[in-house]
Amino acid sequence: MRHAFEVAKEEFIYTYVRQTDEHDLCRLEMRAFFGCDSPSNVIKSNVKIDPSRSPFMKERLQIMFSGNDFEALKRQASEFVSLQTFKVTCLNSIALDTTAKLHHPERRSIEREIGEVIQGEADLLKPLVNFGVVLLDDVWHFGIIEESKPIWRFHMKKPHMYSTALSTRVARAVANIAVPHPEGIRAIDPCCGIGTVLVEARSMDIDIVGRDINPLVCLGSRKNLAHFGLAGEVAIGPIAEVTDTYDAAIIDMPYNLFTHITAEGQQDILKNARRITSRLVVVTIEPMDHMIAEAGFEIVDRCIAKKGTFERQIVVCE
């Protein structure tokens, strides 16, 4: 007889929902998290990620057991004991890779059949644990669901904003790409502007500090952090004055369409970034490969983040 939360080896299924123009950015975030990606809207991995971190994840299923057919899964469920009140949810409400969507009556039937054989008390309104069932590539899986909470949505309206700032979804993904596994990692955003990346990073407990040469935007960045109850250092000054070293840096590169920075100024930012970090994620609207190489970095991954006809390059450098 198996009890809840007795899992020999952790394995997870992550489902995704993203817009067409977010596809490449989503895959770059996948590669940062898992070391691989999937062209579809689902990925299986032994790496445990809080699904609320990603702006694209829908849910995470921690697999407890699997079966080659539904009856095999049901037999295992009949030996399963839940020590907490529970409900069962079928995750096939959307097509998952090549597995077609299951219609509502079929999903409810699956939930009922599995729920009825589990040894424990069901509670459809306020369960203490939510179990999931999913059919994926002709294999049935049962496990514990962790649904993604769209925390980034609450950050869309800030006290201080400007039109050229990254969207909250892109900023959150960029923070994850730079620091996919935050434990023991120190990061810096030395051109933080109004703090869009800082807010997303600090809301995920990433140890990051901000900096900008403009005192007014530094003040706005601090106010944005405080508005969401987040703590974080935002210093005034150029990247050239940074004396500490960091495990990762994020630079949404200033560009002369909206600022007075020159190509030499951009190159100086990159060279100083090489001095203080060994991992850099650059966000840029124009090609900078030659500048990145001249600064001493190697490009290890990249993607295009689109918003209508406007494109930004997300470039991962080491």
- Enumerate the domain spans of the chain: 2-147, 151-317
pLDDT tens for residues 98-113?
999 999 999 999 999 9
The tens-digit pLDDT sequence of the chain (318 residues) is 444 444 457 999 999 999 989 999 999 999 999 999 999 999 999 999 999 999 999 999 999 999 999 999 999 999 999 999 999 999 999 999 999 999 999 999 999 999 999 999 999 999 999 999 999 999 999 999 999 999 999 999 999 888 778 999 999 999 999 999 999 999 999 999 999 999 999 999 999 999 999 999 999 999 999 999 999 999 999 999 999 999 999 999 986 445 678 889 999 999 999 999 999 999 999 999 999 999 999 999 999 998 777 899 999 999
CA distances from 268 to 75, 135, 186, 209, 221 (A): 64, 52, 22, 20, 23
Strand partners, 224: none
**151-317: CATH superfamily:** Vaccinia Virus protein VP39 (3.40.50.150)
* Segment 33-90, tens digit of pLDDT: 999 999 999 999 999 999 999 999 999 999 999 999 999 999 999 999 999 999 999 9
- Dist. CA 2–CA 145, nearest whole Å: 18
DSSP-assigned states of every residue in 240-255 = GG--S-BSEEEEE---
The CATH code that applies to domain 2-147 is 3.30.2130.30
Please give the DSSP secondary-structure letter assigned to residue 122.
B
Instruction: Look up the pTM and report it.
Output: 0.93
Query: Whose CA is closest to 20, among 305, 242, 234, 313?
Result: 305
Q: Spell out the residues 6+ positions from residue 89 whose beta carbon is closer than 8 angstroms to its own.
A: 111, 130, 131, 132, 133, 145
**Which residues face 99 on adjacent strands?**
96
